[in-house]
Amino acid sequence: MSEMKRYPVDPEFAAKAHIDNAKYLAMYEQSIKDPDAFWGEHGKRLDWFGPYSRVKHTSFDPHNVDIRWFEDGTLNAAYNCLDRHLEQRGDQVAIIWEGDDPSESEKISYRDLHERVCRLANALKAEGVEKGDVVTLYMPMIPEAAVAMLACARLGAVHSVVFGGFSPEALANRIEGAASRLVITSDYSRRGGKVVPLKANVDEALADPAAARYCKKVVVVKRTDDELAWHDHRDLWYHEITVKASIECPAEELNAEDPLFILYTSGSTGKPKGLEHTTGGYLVYASMTHEYVFDYREGDIYWCTADVGWVTGHSYIVYGPLANGATTLMFEGVPSYPDNSRFGRVIEKHRVNQFYTAPTAIRALMQQGEEVLGDADLSSLRLLGSVGEPINPEAWEWYHRVVGQGRCPIVDTWWQTETGGIMITPLPGATATKPGSATRPFFGVQPALVDKQGNELEGAVEGNLVIKDSWPGQSRSIWGDHERFVQTYFSTFKGYYTTGDGARRDEEGYYWITGRVDDVLNVSGHRMGTAEIESALVAHPAVAEAAVVGYPHSVKGQGIYVYVTLQAGFEQSDELMKALRHWVRREIGPIASPDLIQFAPGMPKTRSGKIMRRILRKIAEDDFSSLGDTSTLADPSVVDDLIAKRLNRW
């Protein structure tokens, strides 16, 4: 394993930060010892219409999974993200929108955003949308996506955002699954100079009678002047219905446990699950983590590069930042358009202070070399964040050195769609960091490691990552299928929330996420995280990306199958294969030596950039007859190439 490095907290940063280490330790202890008092106090960060008298009412007992926070309080999420800021900061910029085309950008004040949300909420009401109805959003990264989320929240309607990169079939399934009666979309989306026909995809989804049975209206934002097929009985132009709507729209008084949104996410098996999040606990948790993890301060410009189609976009582009009265940047484009310096250009243009992105983006930039951000002025940056997958130490170091210029702390934030907000993370003024470790739990979060039988493990050890007790941001259920929720998350290890991830805890109590538990290999009785081997491989100068899976091996139980994408300028060869094998032996040890190494020009990735290991495992097992649904891949054609060149043939 590569030498463990440690980056202490900069005392100057700590002196100005919300939370230093002493404060972290004291607050953490209180949050665990007396969650009612702790969250009762921090719940006050929101404006409540009716106060809560009960704070925590939760049970992880598989016979009675029941999660409620602030259950007798009433509030409205849109009110907390908009109305309550108007007096103090009505003219402050709420959303900076940066278009795909660098010449397009827009600044929207809190007052303006409030007005837009009220107009759309009234227009939706006029179309019959009521409290409790599910509205599906299938949108590009344009301000109207945030407006639509908040308009739903204002009415008590439940939004279900479906990532704009999903296929019509995936969209139809989600419309049907949520019995959604209205879709908000855009004529086209623009990304990386290309246009995607979103509205045509909605038409195709609604050609499916199962979806059309529920969905009767489609609201369309006009993004381009291109031609469009139109259905008069069903389709409505966003600009036409909002222009005539009133800018007065009272925010519905909702219960803390009324649903705010559902968000579909893929499990390892079965159809996607619609995770349900409710209003009070979610918003308390999203806003508090946003403030403390990113050390957000008044006047900061904060940029999270996620898409609103994912939970990161929900919690850390829209709800967390806006509840805090922050200025949040929303980016329509991609890091490589018009060229690879785009992230740097946007940081420079808007003087971004906090920058939050994913390891896959960092590695893509890293492949282009140290000069990738051009001569962009990055001096405004104060903090960097990472989310979505384990970050390998080399990418961490590169991010720190090249983007953060050695000056900015990095917060490697571990969490999930199910958790609503960040769970394990450094706090920049409190936590010394180690590249590759998500470090310590946020307030109120009690991680634990258990063995296969569910016994809790103590000390420096590796195991299944579980959470011992509830936190306010936790998902309450799977929409329409509470039993599946109980089965998936509370039945494997009784009394715990099962994350599905594995982790290692070091001597200092820091957590190192090793990846999904189903990705853990057992080779000759040795347990190994695929992420660990990948991280070693990616550290080799010839390797751009690596994915490791297990395959059945007659002697070792499981063998190690490696897919490697080379950096530009490197050729595949037997020598290189040998060198890589040797490299891994040296980095981790002989037990981690790859059995098979397949050079792969591309990996099968979801459109959010996650490698689909399920597919790689199947190919490694020489069983590609049942690859499952590959339609949601960013580029389904890579699969054929991988199959043609597979190495494990019976």
Regarding 395 and contact with ligand 6R9 (CB under 6 A), the answer is no
CB nearer to ligand 6R9: pick between 344 and 436 = 436
Window 221-280: residues binding ligand 6R9 (CB under 6 A): 265
Regarding 412 and contact with ligand 6R9 (CB under 6 A), the answer is yes
Q: Which residues contact 600 (CB under 8 A, 6 or more apart)?
A: 563, 564, 565, 638, 641, 642, 645
**Pair 383, 353: CB distance under 8 Å:** yes
Closest separation between CB of residue 604 and ligand 6R9, Å? Answer: 17
Q: Can you list the pairs that 618-625 forms with residues at least 24 positions away whose Cβ atoms lie under 8 Å?
A: 619/643, 619/646, 620/549, 620/550, 620/551, 620/561, 620/596, 620/646, 620/648, 621/551, 621/552, 621/648, 622/551, 622/646, 622/648, 622/649, 622/650
Task: Select from 17-25, 93-101, 147-155, 412-420 the region that touches ligand 6R9 (CB under 6 A).
Answer: 412-420
Among 166, 414, 442, 443, binds ligand 6R9 (CB under 6 A): 414
63 annotated among ligand-binding-site residues: no
Separation of CA 110 from chain center: 25
The span from the CA of 289 to the CA of 182, in Å, is: 32
Regarding 417 and contact with ligand 6R9 (CB under 6 A), the answer is yes
Residues binding ligand 6R9: number (CB under 6 A): 21
516 annotated among ligand-binding-site residues: yes
Burial 230-254 (b: 16+ CB within 10 A, else e): eeeebbbebeebbeebeeebebbeb
The span from the CA of 343 to the CA of 361, in Å, is: 10
156 annotated among ligand-binding-site residues: no
CB nearer to ligand 6R9: pick between 171 and 513 = 513
**Pair 631, 562: CB distance under 8 Å:** no
Strand pairing of 189-191 and 194-196?
Answer: antiparallel
436 annotated among ligand-binding-site residues: no
Burial of 457 (0-12, 13-18, 19+ CB in 10 A): middle
The span from the CA of 521 to the CA of 509, in Å, is: 24
538 annotated among ligand-binding-site residues: yes
Closest separation between CB of residue 234 and ligand 6R9, Å? Answer: 32
524 annotated among ligand-binding-site residues: yes
Separation of CA 5 from chain center: 27
Among 173, 180, 413, 598, binds ligand 6R9 (CB under 6 A): 413
Closest separation between CB of residue 306 and ligand 6R9, Å? Answer: 8
Q: Among residues 282, 286, 289, 287, which one has the least CA distance to residue 260? A: 282
Closest separation between CB of residue 357 and ligand 6R9, Å? Answer: 12
65 annotated among ligand-binding-site residues: no
Q: Which residues contact 527 (CB under 8 A, 6 or more apart)?
A: 462, 520, 521
Torsion of CA 421, 346, 412, 46, to 10 degrees: -30
The span from the CA of 21 to the CA of 504, in Å, is: 22
Which amino acid is located at 433 in the chain?
Answer: T
CB nearer to ligand 6R9: pick between 143 and 388 = 388
> Please, what sign has the CA dihedral across residues 541, 546, 548, 554?
negative
136 annotated among ligand-binding-site residues: no
**Pair 144, 117: CB distance under 8 Å:** no
Regarding 501 and contact with ligand 6R9 (CB under 6 A), the answer is yes
Among 111, 297, 345, 516, binds ligand 6R9 (CB under 6 A): 516
310 annotated among ligand-binding-site residues: no
Instruction: Fill in the per-residue mask, 311 to 350: x = in contact with ligand 6R9 (CB under 6 A), - = not in contact.
Output: xx--------------------------------------
191 annotated among ligand-binding-site residues: yes
CB nearer to ligand 6R9: pick between 151 and 362 = 362
Regarding 393 and contact with ligand 6R9 (CB under 6 A), the answer is no
Closest separation between CB of residue 518 and ligand 6R9, Å? Answer: 10
Regarding 530 and contact with ligand 6R9 (CB under 6 A), the answer is no
Residue with tokens 């100005």: 16
CB nearer to ligand 6R9: pick between 156 and 281 = 281
Closest separation between CB of residue 71 and ligand 6R9, Å? Answer: 26
Task: Select from 211-219, 408-416, 482-490, 616-624 the region that touches ligand 6R9 (CB under 6 A).
Answer: 408-416
629 annotated among ligand-binding-site residues: no
Closest separation between CB of residue 519 and ligand 6R9, Å? Answer: 9
Q: Among residues 305, 304, 279, which one has the least CA distance to residue 293? A: 304
Extract the tokens encoding 25: 């330790």
Task: Select from 119-127, 151-159, 310-318, 454-462 the region that touches ligand 6R9 (CB under 6 A).
Answer: 310-318
479 annotated among ligand-binding-site residues: no
The span from the CA of 610 to the CA of 384, in Å, is: 20
Instruction: Fill in the per-residue mask, 435 to 464: x = in contact with ligand 6R9 (CB under 6 A), - = not in contact.
Output: ---x--------------------------
416 annotated among ligand-binding-site residues: yes
Regarding 513 and contact with ligand 6R9 (CB under 6 A), the answer is yes
Window 351-390: residues binding ligand 6R9 (CB under 6 A): 386-390
Q: Which residues contact 490 (CB under 8 A, 6 or more apart)?
A: 60, 62, 65, 496, 497, 498
Among 69, 343, 415, 561, binds ligand 6R9 (CB under 6 A): 415
**Pair 498, 487: CB distance under 8 Å:** no
Regarding 293 and contact with ligand 6R9 (CB under 6 A), the answer is no
412 annotated among ligand-binding-site residues: yes
Burial of 26 (0-12, 13-18, 19+ CB in 10 A): exposed
Closest separation between CB of residue 576 and ligand 6R9, Å? Answer: 28
Regarding 289 and contact with ligand 6R9 (CB under 6 A), the answer is no
Q: Among residues 352, 354, 353, 372, which one has the least CA distance to residue 362? A: 372
CB nearer to ligand 6R9: pick between 100 and 389 = 389
CB nearer to ligand 6R9: pick between 255 and 312 = 312
| Contacts with ligand 6R9, residue ranges (CB under 6 A) | 265, 310-312, 386-390, 412-417, 438, 499-501, 513, 516
Task: Enumerate the known binding-site residues for Mg(2+).
Answer: 538, 540, 543
Task: Enumerate the known binding-site residues.
Answer: 191-194, 312, 388-390, 412-417, 501, 516, 524, 527, 538, 540, 543, 585
Task: Enumerate the known binding-site residues for CoA.
Answer: 191-194, 312, 524, 585
